Structure 1
Amino acid sequence: MSRRNALAFLVLALVWGSSFPAARIGLETAPPVLFAALRFDGIALVVLAVAVLGGGRVRPRRTDLASIAAGGVLVIGVHNLLWFLGQQYVTSAVGAVVLATVPILAAGLSRFVLPDERLSVLGGVGLALGFLGAAIVARPTDATLSGSRALGVAILLASALAMALGTVFTQSTRSDLPVTALQGWMMVAGAAVMHAASLGLGESQTVAWTPRVAIAFAFLVLVAGVVGYLLFFYLLDAVGSVELTLVNYVSPVVAALTGWLVLNEGIEPTTVVGFVVVLAGFALVKRQALRSLAARYGVDDAADPVRTPDD
């Protein structure tokens, strides 16, 4: 990985890891689903403006709607509304560890959606380890927190499942709409889903905009949202999906440290153990791709990236 790509990877991990404590700050005074919806209203406006300024096609065609629906409803809408609901009950580190199961779950779900995908026995063990890791972090050290924390982890796991399923469906519904415009319209669709869910849940439609909450919101929109997604798609093209997936396993470390620094959140042993178990599950599910990645950098660091199919 070049220095430029390594720096981009590090910034993305810092930005996305820090989004967990930022979300918790926003939830201090804002209804969770409404706050998530407003976040993507803002991100969608900026991303679509970038798409217009960049030239190329922005208006979607009928052939783009399936991909927009899959990404907008599941990856943006359901995933984020469940994330913000679940994050109320757990620390930043726990939230990041549970959502680190997304690549493992996507690999397991792909065998049912994508005809060319297969999951080996070891891959199945890795999938099971992903669930086990989530179960471990759901078990608090303080028994008085068991109900709310377990509920939060369950909601976050459902959020991870929604994102994984949406990722697989998006992969199976090809679109030739430029990626920035495609993501912008997905965010519009996802924000609409979250606004509808917020109304359906009977949430208040007002937010107490304290300076602390406003700063957290601006960070989630402009930094974690716009900058984060632009870096994500730059790295996806530059280094490929396998290396980019590894950001999911740096973000929990960042989330734990920023949660500790900003919110004085403790880092529990169960969270650390759960993270290690989830990481082991990822290594089993993606073992061939990781082996190829290690061989590439071990043999010729200057070689062009080789796209290796996942297990």
Structure 2
Amino acid sequence: MSQRVPGTAGAPGFGLVMTALVVVYVVWGSTYLGIRIVVEEAPPLTSMGLRYATAGVLLGAVLTVRGGLRRLRLTRRQALGAAALGLFLPVLGNGMVSVAENLGAPSGVTALLIAIAPLIIVVFRVAEGDRPGPLTLAGVLLGFAGLAVLVLLGRGGAGDFPLGAALLVLFASSCWALGSYLQPRLPLPEDVFVTTVYEMLFGGAMLTVLGFVSGERFTGDYSARTWLALAYLVVFGSVVAFTAYVWLLDSAPISLVATYAYVNPVVAVFLGWLVLSEAVTGAVLAGGAIVVLAVALVITAERPRRTPEVALASSGEPLPETAADGDLEPTG
């Protein structure tokens, strides 16, 4: 959900900026691991529904304390816009990621496949008549080459990664990209935090209903490990890291903040290997390196025209998105 965040005067301390940046790097990079742990026991859709509904209530409560209930007001058109974001990002984006990880998608490779979202956004821009520069297009072609390596060569040794799960992750990434592309064109509240509250509430409600309709039952009879992972996703993935990201956009150079987009997948692969012993094969390393390089290339090519914008990742994981003028933007 991206809305413009005004810049502020005064430079914060280097240590504070780096602390916030590390929070975004590690927390958003670790959300894929958190999802994988949750869905080992809990149903994917309803557990993510609980995550987003709880995070929306928590953030809404904080905003109410700081600005009163009036701060949460929105029009019918803004509510529809927030609901559309809830559908594309938390439901079709994060919800499908959770289903794919439940089907066996390794968390690290999932993060690498999701990382192609900014490249898909460029495809949407071209379809609309925009003409990105040669460096941007080169980055997109490079990214899809890395994607082919991951899907065609990397699955065999990536720890039982079924083709269906891989395709579902790519579908989730495409939905996330489409939602991010449409976001600046939707009627949304001026306050990015208010937009975030309603996107998470609508998304959480839709995920919960979809889960129950599909036959899921969230019994609550899960291990402490599952509950801790879910609490981590709620508090740190959906609230703390997003707040740190918004603060960084207001306090640090956008060129520095945007580095999260190609650091998060690296963190995800490392944590998946360290915590869950997910296989990291030569194909995964090669394909992942190509994808990360492609994302860095596209972000670098788009940077000169960029203005800071914000969006909440469906899983708490950020992805570059487009601004109203078609430029690539980071999300939170």
TM-score between both structures, scaled by the size of structure 1: 0.84
- 1:189–1:309 distance in 2 versus 1, CA, 3 Å: closer
Q: Which moved more, 1:120-129 or 1:54-63?
A: 120-129
Q: Give the alignment partner of residue 96 of structure 2, picking from 73, 82, 87.
A: 82
Matches for 1:260-279 after TM superposition, within 5 Å: 260-279=273-292
Q: Is 1:19 the equivalent of 2:17?
A: no
Q: Is 1:7 the equivalent of 2:19?
A: yes
Q: Is 1:95 the equivalent of 2:110?
A: yes
Q: Secondary structure at the match of 1:30?
A: coil
For 1:159-191, what per-residue CA distance to the aligned partner results, in whole angstroms no more than 9, with x for missing partners?
111111111111112434421111000001111
State the one-letter code of the partner of 2:146.
Answer: G
Q: Which residue of structure 2 lines up, in the alignment, with residue 166 of structure 1?
A: 179
Matches for 1:1-311 after TM superposition, within 5 Å: 2-55=14-67, 57-88=71-102, 89-112=104-127, 117-139=130-152, 143=156, 148-239=161-252, 243-290=256-303, 310=327
Q: Which residue of structure 1 lines up, in the alignment, with residue 310 of structure 2?
A: none
Distance 2:45 2:189 in 1: 31
Q: Secondary structure at the match of 1:175?
A: coil
**Is the contact between residue 16 and residue 228 of structure 1 (CA under 8 Å) also seen in structure 2?**
yes
TM-score between both structures, scaled by the size of structure 2: 0.79
- 1:288–1:128 distance in 2 versus 1, CA, 3 Å: closer
Tell me how far 1:238 sits from its aligned partner.
Answer: 3.1
For 1:50-98, what per-residue CA distance to the aligned partner results, in whole angstroms no more than 9, with x for missing partners?
1212216212112413431332111122111111011232222101111
Distance 1:97 1:143 in 2: 16
State the one-letter code of the partner of 1:220.
Answer: L
Distance 1:225 1:235 in 2: 16
Q: Percent identity over the alignment?
A: 26
For 1:10-36, what per-residue CA distance to the aligned partner results, in whole angstroms no more than 9, with x for missing partners?
111100111111111111111111111
Distance 2:159 2:39 in 1: 21
State the one-letter code of the partner of 2:56.
Answer: A
Distance 1:180 1:287 in 2: 27
For 1:126-147, what per-residue CA distance to the aligned partner results, in whole angstroms no more than 9, with x for missing partners?
2233233223222356748798
- 1:69–1:241 distance in 2 versus 1, CA, 3 Å: farther
Distance 1:53 1:7 in 2: 26
Q: Which runs of 5+ in 1 are unaligned?
A: 294-306
Distance 1:192 1:28 in 2: 22
Q: Secondary structure at the match of 1:77?
A: helix
- 1:257–1:68 distance in 2 versus 1, CA, 3 Å: same
**Is the contact between residue 99 and residue 157 of structure 1 (CA under 8 Å) also seen in structure 2?**
yes
For 1:222-262, what per-residue CA distance to the aligned partner results, in whole angstroms no more than 9, with x for missing partners?
11111122122222333466543321211122112222222
**Is the contact between residue 83 and residue 198 of structure 2 (CA under 8 Å) also seen in structure 1?**
no
Tell me how far 1:148 sits from its aligned partner.
Answer: 4.3
Distance 2:31 2:163 in 1: 21
**Is the contact between residue 242 and residue 289 of structure 1 (CA under 8 Å) also seen in structure 2?**
no
Which of the pair is proportionally richer in helix? 1
- The RMSD of aligned alpha carbons is 2.8
Q: Which moved more, 1:148-157 or 1:209-218?
A: 148-157
Q: Which moved more, 1:70-79 or 1:232-241?
A: 232-241
Q: Which runs of 5+ in 2 are unaligned?
A: 1-10, 307-322
